[in-house]
Structure 1
Amino acid sequence: MTALPQRGGGIAACDPRSLALAAAVLLSLVVASGSAYAHAVAEGDKGYIQEISGLHLLSFIYLGAKHMVTGYDHILFLLGVIFFLYRMQHIAIYVSLFAIGHSTTMLLGVYFNVGINSYIIDAIIGLSVVYKALDNISAFQRWLGFQPNTKVATLLFGFFHGFGLSTKIIEYEISPDGLVPNLLAFNVGVEIGQLLALGAILIVMSYWRLKPSFWRHAYSANVAMMTAGFVLTGYQIAGFFVSA
């Protein structure tokens, strides 16, 4: 994968404008994290899920797409994954690995009623954003002397993202009547939402990459992403101890 260019033996430095941009991005993410929970479902949708039974394929497709488009943790991770990917075949590979990962654990987790404490799994998901940002700024190469396999990491973190979703669905006690078809429909919706979110990200990134400011601000953007991941992780850890 492409990494940030080296300057004077180190990672590209930040100028004051880059730091201001990073601060603005982080502020918006912190505000978002204060008003929403990772993998949460709106109260109206939650009540709908708990009340219905039988096949509701279109409804679950809609709910899956809505969840992905509004899931800021998913979007942050996807942003990190495609940040330095330029070729569509490379983007397709990484996004497919992520989709395979979260689809597998989401479907199996709900079907076999395997859940993980939502605070713990969401904290891990926050760390997945941190990992990807560090990967993008070549931190592991400098610290460890080698580059971890990004494809394997994307698949593994996909598993965790899927468990985050399955844990929430289990909490809502979805009706066993029509469970499998509804889950499959929900997963189709998640993939549709992922494509919509990815398309929007690619449009913005493609435009930004044409500007000289991309390389000036790329480091700061990843620092902001990493910090947001730490904020999300800390938020979930605090929630875990408060709820204990």
Structure 2
Amino acid sequence: MRFNKRTLIVIWFILSLLTISTNLFAHGVDASTKNFLTANQGVAIGPFLYIGAKHMVTGYDHLLFLVGVIFFLFRIRDVLIYANLFTLGHSLTLLLGVLKGITVNSYLIDAIIGLSIVYKAFDNLGGFRQILGFQPNNKVAVAVFGLFHGFGLATKLQDFALPQANLWKNLLAFNIGVEVGQFVALFFILIVLGCWRRSPSFYSFATATNTLLMTGGLILFGYQLTGYLAYG
């Protein structure tokens, strides 16, 4: 079996997302970001914009979910609808989680985020129709999983004693940064998928790619569940 150049690029892209070392980030926050959040005492719009964007661009769990969501979306209109539903969900729980102090165990939330990747890959493989005999409403599912992704973001910030004065300003900047990062990630993912879709190999390897996505989601789920059992 021979792989053409476009197929190899896509497989490399997916594998790169799957193999990002979880040791680079402690619950998704690198050392420099941790130092800034720990020391910051005032309004810092620019840095929080940057941190939000960086968290999304380097957040392999969010990226893998987005790949699964748009894998079979061929119209920009559909991509925007699903992206907006995801944005609405995670923005709501991010803001409420931090501002209202709603705490959720970070390991359990990240485990559910891993399952969101499994869900979308399983759906792309036709698993619900073929194995379970029904098709869930994907728009509702993406919005609901967006809520969990938002709580995942909130738990990252709740680990730090952020000053309450003008917290909403920094939080809003962080959320806008997340959306900027999501837009950038979507842009490059669509370029890669767009190139691949023009190749006959797209449908030939769609099953293998989504199986790889589902495997990645299961690995993330197992990793976080192990963390919960060990430290939760």
TM range (shorter): over 0.9
Aligned counterpart, 1:7: none
- CA 1:207–1:216 in structure 2 vs 1: closer, same or farther (change >3 Å)? same
**2:72 & 2:19 partners in 1: Cα distance?**
26
Could you list the structure 1 runs, at least 4 aligned residues long, displaced by more than 4 angstroms after superposition.
Answer: 15-18, 20-30
The total of aligned residue pairs comes to 229
1:222-241 CA deviation, whole Å, 9 max, x = no partner?
Answer: 00000000000000111111
Structure 1 residue 94 displacement after superposition: 0.2
Equivalent AA in structure 2 for residue 177 of structure 1? A
Q: Is 1:80 aligned to 2:68, yes or no?
A: yes
Aligned counterpart, 2:87: 99
Residue 98 of structure 1 contacts residue 158 of structure 1 at CA under 8 Å; is this kept in 2?
yes
Equivalent AA in structure 2 for residue 223 of structure 1? T
Give 5+ residue unaligned stretches, structure 2: none
Q: Is 1:47 aligned to 2:35, yes or no?
A: yes
Residue 25 of structure 1 contacts residue 224 of structure 1 at CA under 8 Å; is this kept in 2?
no
Aligned counterpart, 1:209: 197
TM-score by length of 2: 0.92
Structure 1 residue 213 displacement after superposition: 0.9
Q: Is 1:123 aligned to 2:111, yes or no?
A: yes
TM-score by length of 1: 0.88
Give 5+ residue unaligned stretches, structure 1: 1-14
Aligned counterpart, 1:66: 54
1:10-61 CA deviation, whole Å, 9 max, x = no partner?
Answer: xxxxx7969x979977764553144345851111111111211221111111
Aligned counterpart, 2:184: 196
Cα root mean square deviation, aligned: 2.2
**1:238 & 1:70 partners in 2: Cα distance?**
22
Residue 37 of structure 2 contacts residue 162 of structure 2 at CA under 8 Å; is this kept in 1?
yes
**2:15 & 2:200 partners in 1: Cα distance?**
24
Q: Is 1:240 aligned to 2:224, yes or no?
A: no
